[in-house]
Chain A
Amino acid sequence: MEKIRNLILYLTISIRTGAFFEKSNETYRKHIQRLFEIIADLLKERGDFTLKMKINYIFLDDDRIDVSLDIMGPYRLLLNELTIRNIEEITFHKGLEKEELNDFIFIISRTFPKDSKDFEELIGYLRNRGIKNISITMLSKEQHVEQDKSFKREALKIFLNSIFYLKDAFESLYTNEQINLTKARKIIKLFTDYVLQDETFMIGLTTIKNIGSYTLNHSVNVSILSIALGIKLGLEKRDITELGMAGFFHDIGKSNISEEILEKPAPLTEEEFEIIKKHPHWSAERLLLIRGLKNIPAFALRGILEHHIDYDGSGYPKLNIEKPSLFARILRVVDTYDAMTTARCYQKAFTPIEAINYIISKKGEIFDPVIVDKFVELLGTYPPGTIVQLTSGEIGMFLEDGNIAILKEGGSKIETDTPRKKVKKILSGEEVNIDPTSIFIKYTSMQ
């Protein structure tokens, strides 16, 4: 039992450290050495053997591995490491050499095949690298679908939960109560985990708009999009967390502004606009005064305070700074995108492509060019929520990873289709009277 426990432990930790360190790293080498000793021992004892994953359990050949508390942590981690790489089985064959194992772990730790094509490529690559004594098989379609389903439902739950958490936070401000930041940090961690696991689905979730209220739903979307963009930009976990917090609370100062102004279905007067312009200051100040610097990282506060300052220094509020901070520049892009793609009482929603085109047109002026490029890359050619007419005449909406929901019966029913159907033209939701929010929720519920 101890050998099996150590196999799971060292296989997990080797994959994890392989993703972070180079092959020459001392820690990584030690883990590979230990893993090799354990596998060599088992090969000697049992001959070729296979680690197999079947819905939340790991099997060693045909025997399910008992899960004691001692092994629970690594066991769950290994399940996760295999799932996110779509691996169902790993078989170790007699004759395995240490360098072969080293190569194998190093490659798979940095590879995340999404579909069977990617997986075939990975197998081919392993073969070309001379790895003959370890073989892998892809997760069965059923298992993959099952994992995917549960993930998407869980992510949607967190998404909705976070909107209502924010509602509570706004209400706390009205009554001068403490905001529960412990929960906010937990939500941000989960968002980050989920974006890492399935970035395209999480971005897809942000096509959900106006649930609870514009500001609440928008804040959650900005948080998710910021996290995804932050990861794309190569930020560290600590920074991602702070960025996510900044997105989450960037508009909390709007709690000082009356509904009449926020939801005014006509152009704002100069006076009203002056009030709106105060919200970045109010957001940052309220958080600072309520929770202090220990709980709200200064970098997040700075992002919030400066999120309406343009790349060229214009915008509001007027501050004694040369250019906005990195977080503010990220928020500026993401905030604009989500605001433009949301229908408001005073404005129809722009299509994601219109919003992107606007952002690109203001590169270097309002928006940081590096961040815009990464954001465009993140959203892809057809960002989730893009409604199109296909060459077949059907109407569809892009969901995640290029998947399209084909709308039937005016959108009351949907069928998902394989990607890369030919697009004839891009439509606005209003043209065809379609609400992207309900389409996306329907899609998630179909999973």
Chain B
Amino acid sequence: MDKLNQAKIFFNTFYKCIKNIKMYGNVKSNFEKFLDETYEHLQGYLNSFGPLVLNIEESKIMFENNTIYEDKNKITSLPLYFYRNGIRSITFLDAIEKREIEKFITIISQHDFSIHMNLIEDLWVENFSNILFYFVEEAPKDYSWMIEKDVPTDKFDFTLEKTESSFLNFKKIEGKEEPSIITETLENERTESVLKTVLNIYLLETDEEKRKEILTFIKDFIKTAINEGNIIELISVVDFSKEAQIPLKNFEDLIYSESALELYFNYLQDKDKREKIAEIMINGGGKILPSIKEFLKSVDSPELFKFFKNVVIEICKKDKDALSFLLPVPKSFVPYLLEIISIVKEPSYSDFIIPFFKMEEFKNTAIKIFLEVAHREKWFKFLNEDDDIRISILRNIKSIENENEFKIIREKIVDNKFWSLHPEERENLLRIFSSWRKEDVLPVFEMMLRKFSLKKEIISTKISIIRILSRMGKDGISILKKFKKSFILRNAIKEVLKNYGKN
């Protein structure tokens, strides 16, 4: 391929890169691809023909007196942007590296072509090794009049001609020790400067309107941090705000935006940052739980489950209603949810446990936690549930505490189905029932003893009643005495009466 064509192809891909950044900003959709192509074409040219020089005219990019690109648009023209900034030629050298051309493209693309006038200064600070520029600078104004009393004016030449300047080198500085300390200090300070400075300016200001205005800069800072995925800066916002006692409420919409939360989730693998992220999330309260709920769907690490468990516990401690935003949770998170409920111990959470009564693997833990958390009236509602639940609940009821509970238990005891219940359940019901007032309990027990049956389980239950009655003092004993002659019960009664007599 000839020189001209090769230069044209290079410039076209180079320009594509610039347009790509201009259109898509940080997303840089096809940027990498275009950058590779640009670098490849540039290398192709440099290897075949040596240094590549592009000259700049007002609306044209020239290569050896040929126009390779032209754009007369005053707003978007790249040649005009170069030209207005004083750049007249750009030379690429063959040792150029990809990152150098990438940096060059990024600097060119970062500002509005129609207004930015510091392109030379932007390029100057970068010290490019393989890109040379020729540029002109505006000559300074003539202020000789202000010193003409002291100085013969003919000694000064203040004609407004354009002057050339160059990218000067920095001299090598002798003695590395101090500069390296300084550079290190500078780096440390740089990371915290933006926020610290703006917050300090904010804190010194007393005018509310100005304060609001200053806060917008902090918001911009947060937005940039989120867009650039800079978790460190985002974390520093929280830290500094805390330090400066600025309520995070001011930035809530940003700090807990979907993209910010996504950023926190992405950094959870980084153990050093977890603690800070947890702090931010906890401060976010219930509103971040729907996002956590979504994220949990993609988590399979017990470590992360544990992390979220702790976060949710802290959130729920402050805001009891929050937990509902987390539900339903993926099956793998259920044990952690139960733990959350067990730790927070909020009675209203008992309803969230109920679905797990039906899940074999969680049933026992769920019932246990239910009993720890739920109000007693909820327990009694579950006395009609299936066996395991009922039995577990009965096991945990120590005594009857009110009339209503008495009624429920009485009803179960007098019901005909009572005799077909599991013996343990029957035992527990009798035990609980016996904890209520004697005048209500004794007639029921007497009635139960009167029930005629030769069935083994009925007899064993009657024996249980006898034992209970024996512990109920004089009134219980007087009932037992009524059944002393019962063929079936007499031995058992004799036994308890003997012991009663001893006592």
Asked if A157 lies at the interface with its beta carbon under 8 angstroms from chain B, I say: yes
Known A185-B121, A285-B205; contact A325-B88, beta-carbon cutoff 8 A: no
Closest B residue to A437 by beta carbon equals B150
Asked if A441 lies at the interface with its beta carbon under 8 angstroms from chain B, I say: yes
State how many angstroms separate the Cβ of A1 from the closest Cβ of chain B.
12
Asked if A292 lies at the interface with its beta carbon under 8 angstroms from chain B, I say: yes
Asked if B50 lies at the interface with its beta carbon under 8 angstroms from chain A, I say: yes
Closest A residue to B213 by beta carbon equals A289
Flag B160-173 by CB within 8 Å of A: 1 or 0 each. 00011111111111
Closest B residue to A438 by beta carbon equals B150
Q: Of B124, B172, B193, which contacts A237 at CB under 8 A?
A: B124
Stretch at the interface among A23-31, A118-126, A424-432: A23-31
Flag B196-239 by CB within 8 Å of A: 1 or 0 each. 11101101110000100110010011000000000000000000
Asked if B173 contacts A13 (CB within 8 A), the reply is no
Asked if B214 contacts A289 (CB within 8 A), the reply is yes
Asked if B454 lies at the interface with its beta carbon under 8 angstroms from chain A, I say: no
- B417 partner residues in chain A, CB cutoff 8 A: none
What separation, in Å, do the CA atoms of A370 and B177 have in the docked complex? Answer: 11
Asked if A193 lies at the interface with its beta carbon under 8 angstroms from chain B, I say: yes
Known A241-B121, A305-B201; contact A285-B147, beta-carbon cutoff 8 A: no
Flag A171-199 by CB within 8 Å of B: 1 or 0 each. 00000000000100110111001001100
Stretch at the interface among B130-138, B260-268, B471-479: B130-138
What separation, in Å, do the CA atoms of A190 and B139 have in the docked complex? Answer: 11
What separation, in Å, do the CA atoms of A298 and B50 have in the docked complex? Answer: 42
Asked if A255 lies at the interface with its beta carbon under 8 angstroms from chain B, I say: no
Asked if A16 lies at the interface with its beta carbon under 8 angstroms from chain B, I say: yes
Q: Of B89, B173, B180, B243, which contacts A73 at CB under 8 A?
A: B89
Asked if B182 lies at the interface with its beta carbon under 8 angstroms from chain A, I say: yes
Asked if A189 contacts B124 (CB within 8 A), the reply is yes
Asked if B197 contacts A182 (CB within 8 A), the reply is no
Stretch at the interface among A135-143, A314-322, A358-366: A314-322
What separation, in Å, do the CA atoms of A436 and B461 have in the docked complex? Answer: 117
- B55 partner residues in chain A, CB cutoff 8 A: 69-70
- B141 partner residues in chain A, CB cutoff 8 A: 161, 164
Closest A residue to B224 by beta carbon equals A293
Asked if B23 lies at the interface with its beta carbon under 8 angstroms from chain A, I say: no
Q: Of A157, A182, A319, which contacts B117 at CB under 8 A?
A: A182
Asked if A325 contacts B193 (CB within 8 A), the reply is yes
The A291-349 residues at the B interface (CB cut-off 8 A) are: 292-293, 298-299, 301-302, 305, 317, 319-321, 325-326
Asked if A442 lies at the interface with its beta carbon under 8 angstroms from chain B, I say: yes
The B118-145 residues at the A interface (CB cut-off 8 A) are: 118, 120-121, 124-125, 127, 129-130, 132-135, 137-144
Asked if B203 contacts A77 (CB within 8 A), the reply is no
Asked if A70 contacts B53 (CB within 8 A), the reply is yes
Asked if A86 lies at the interface with its beta carbon under 8 angstroms from chain B, I say: no
Asked if B186 contacts A445 (CB within 8 A), the reply is no
- A163 partner residues in chain B, CB cutoff 8 A: 143
- B93 partner residues in chain A, CB cutoff 8 A: 9-10, 13, 31
State how many angstroms separate the Cβ of B384 from the closest Cβ of chain A.
63
Asked if B64 lies at the interface with its beta carbon under 8 angstroms from chain A, I say: yes
Asked if A110 lies at the interface with its beta carbon under 8 angstroms from chain B, I say: yes
Asked if B157 contacts A153 (CB within 8 A), the reply is yes
Asked if A147 lies at the interface with its beta carbon under 8 angstroms from chain B, I say: no
Q: Of A182, A193, A317, A325, which contacts B204 at CB under 8 A?
A: A317
State how many angstroms separate the Cβ of A446 from the closest Cβ of chain B.
8
Asked if A27 contacts B121 (CB within 8 A), the reply is no
What separation, in Å, do the CA atoms of A241 and B170 have in the docked complex? Answer: 13
Asked if A6 lies at the interface with its beta carbon under 8 angstroms from chain B, I say: yes
- Give the number of chain B interface residues (Cβ < 8 Å): 84
Stretch at the interface among A41-49, A97-105, A227-235, A381-389: A227-235
Asked if A57 lies at the interface with its beta carbon under 8 angstroms from chain B, I say: no
Asked if B130 contacts A160 (CB within 8 A), the reply is no
Closest A residue to B179 by beta carbon equals A234
Asked if A288 lies at the interface with its beta carbon under 8 angstroms from chain B, I say: yes
- A214 partner residues in chain B, CB cutoff 8 A: none
Asked if A30 contacts B118 (CB within 8 A), the reply is no
Q: Of B147, B152, B168, which contacts A196 at CB under 8 A?
A: B168
- A292 partner residues in chain B, CB cutoff 8 A: 217, 220
Asked if B58 lies at the interface with its beta carbon under 8 angstroms from chain A, I say: no
Asked if A288 contacts B198 (CB within 8 A), the reply is yes
- A19 partner residues in chain B, CB cutoff 8 A: 169-172
Asked if B151 contacts A285 (CB within 8 A), the reply is no
- A27 partner residues in chain B, CB cutoff 8 A: 95, 97, 129-130
What separation, in Å, do the CA atoms of A81 and B200 have in the docked complex? Answer: 44
Considering residues A110, A197, A293, which has the most beta carbons from chain B within 10 angstroms of its beta carbon? A293
Asked if B204 contacts A302 (CB within 8 A), the reply is no
Interface of A, secondary structure class, is helix
- A55 partner residues in chain B, CB cutoff 8 A: none
Closest B residue to A234 by beta carbon equals B179
Asked if A66 lies at the interface with its beta carbon under 8 angstroms from chain B, I say: no
Asked if B198 contacts A2 (CB within 8 A), the reply is no
Asked if A211 lies at the interface with its beta carbon under 8 angstroms from chain B, I say: yes
- A109 partner residues in chain B, CB cutoff 8 A: 169
Asked if A16 contacts B91 (CB within 8 A), the reply is no
Closest B residue to A374 by beta carbon equals B178
Asked if B243 contacts A320 (CB within 8 A), the reply is yes
Known A13-B93, A234-B182, A441-B150; contact A110-B172, beta-carbon cutoff 8 A: yes
- A305 partner residues in chain B, CB cutoff 8 A: 197, 200-201
What separation, in Å, do the CA atoms of A185 and B111 have in the docked complex? Answer: 15
Asked if B185 lies at the interface with its beta carbon under 8 angstroms from chain A, I say: yes
Asked if A445 contacts B129 (CB within 8 A), the reply is no
What separation, in Å, do the CA atoms of A238 and B90 have in the docked complex? Answer: 22
- B147 partner residues in chain A, CB cutoff 8 A: 160, 211, 441
- B1 partner residues in chain A, CB cutoff 8 A: none
Asked if B24 lies at the interface with its beta carbon under 8 angstroms from chain A, I say: no
Asked if A72 lies at the interface with its beta carbon under 8 angstroms from chain B, I say: yes
- A164 partner residues in chain B, CB cutoff 8 A: 141, 143, 146
Asked if B186 contacts A239 (CB within 8 A), the reply is yes
- A438 partner residues in chain B, CB cutoff 8 A: 150
Asked if A144 lies at the interface with its beta carbon under 8 angstroms from chain B, I say: no
Asked if B201 contacts A293 (CB within 8 A), the reply is no
What separation, in Å, do the CA atoms of A409 and B127 have in the docked complex? Answer: 49
Asked if B181 lies at the interface with its beta carbon under 8 angstroms from chain A, I say: yes
Asked if A31 contacts B95 (CB within 8 A), the reply is yes
The A69-103 residues at the B interface (CB cut-off 8 A) are: 69-74, 76-77, 80-81, 84
Asked if B189 lies at the interface with its beta carbon under 8 angstroms from chain A, I say: yes
Asked if A226 lies at the interface with its beta carbon under 8 angstroms from chain B, I say: no
State how many angstroms separate the Cβ of A174 from the closest Cβ of chain B.
18
Asked if A59 lies at the interface with its beta carbon under 8 angstroms from chain B, I say: no
- A442 partner residues in chain B, CB cutoff 8 A: 150-151
Known A73-B133, A160-B147; contact A281-B204, beta-carbon cutoff 8 A: yes
Asked if A221 lies at the interface with its beta carbon under 8 angstroms from chain B, I say: no
What separation, in Å, do the CA atoms of A17 and B130 have in the docked complex? Answer: 9
What separation, in Å, do the CA atoms of A97 and B172 have in the docked complex? Answer: 26
Closest A residue to B56 by beta carbon equals A69
What separation, in Å, do the CA atoms of A233 and B203 have in the docked complex? Answer: 32
- B173 partner residues in chain A, CB cutoff 8 A: 231-232, 234
Asked if A215 lies at the interface with its beta carbon under 8 angstroms from chain B, I say: no
Asked if B183 lies at the interface with its beta carbon under 8 angstroms from chain A, I say: yes
Asked if B156 lies at the interface with its beta carbon under 8 angstroms from chain A, I say: yes
Q: A299-B189, A445-B152 are in contact. List 11 more A-B contacts (CB 8 A).
A: A73-B91, A76-B164, A164-B143, A190-B137, A235-B182, A236-B125, A237-B124, A239-B186, A289-B210, A326-B186, A442-B150
On A, residues with C-beta under 8 Å from B are 2, 5-6, 9-10, 12-13, 15-17, 19-21, 26-27, 30-31, 34, 69-74, 76-77, 80-81, 84, 109-110, 112, 153-154, 157-158, 160-161, 163-164, 182, 185-186, 188-190, 193, 196-197, 211-212, 231-239, 241, 281, 284-285, 288-289, 292-293, 298-299, 301-302, 305, 317, 319-321, 325-326, 370, 374, 438, 441-442, 444-446
14 A-B residue pairs with CB within 8 Å: A16-B167, A27-B129, A34-B95, A73-B134, A74-B132, A109-B169, A160-B143, A196-B171, A231-B173, A234-B173, A234-B182, A288-B217, A319-B203, A320-B244
